[in-house]
Amino acid sequence: MRSLIKKALTRTIARKGPRGKQQTIKIPPSQKLLYAVYFSLGMVACLTALEAVHLIVLGTWNPEIFAVISALIGNITGIFLTQKT
């Protein structure tokens, strides 16, 4: 999974090289960005499990946990969308 995320965040730039040849340059993401994405995905998994336990044990939906899950998903989506531009 780690290589899949790293591959998804890698930028590919096409440019003309010497004598008109087409070159592709791959720019890997920084380690800090990868760790932030891994942490965010891990927290989404933990919070989803916490919400499920809360729902099973107490029988009620916790909107605060769901708001944090939604915010983290938005954060992860924003990272993937802006990293490719």
| Tens-place pLDDT, residues 5-47 | 999 999 988 888 777 788 899 999 999 999 999 999 999 999 9
Mean pLDDT of 51-59: 95
Instruction: Enter the pTM of the model.
Output: 0.81
**Cα(47)–Cα(77) distance, rounded to whole angstroms?**
17
- All structural domains of the chain with their residue ranges: 2-83
Average pLDDT of the segment spanning 37-59: 95
What confidence score (pLDDT) does residue 85 get?
A: 67
Distance CA 12, CA 28 (A): 9
Calculate the alpha carbon distances from 38 to 2, 13, 21, 44, 70 in Å: 8, 25, 37, 10, 16
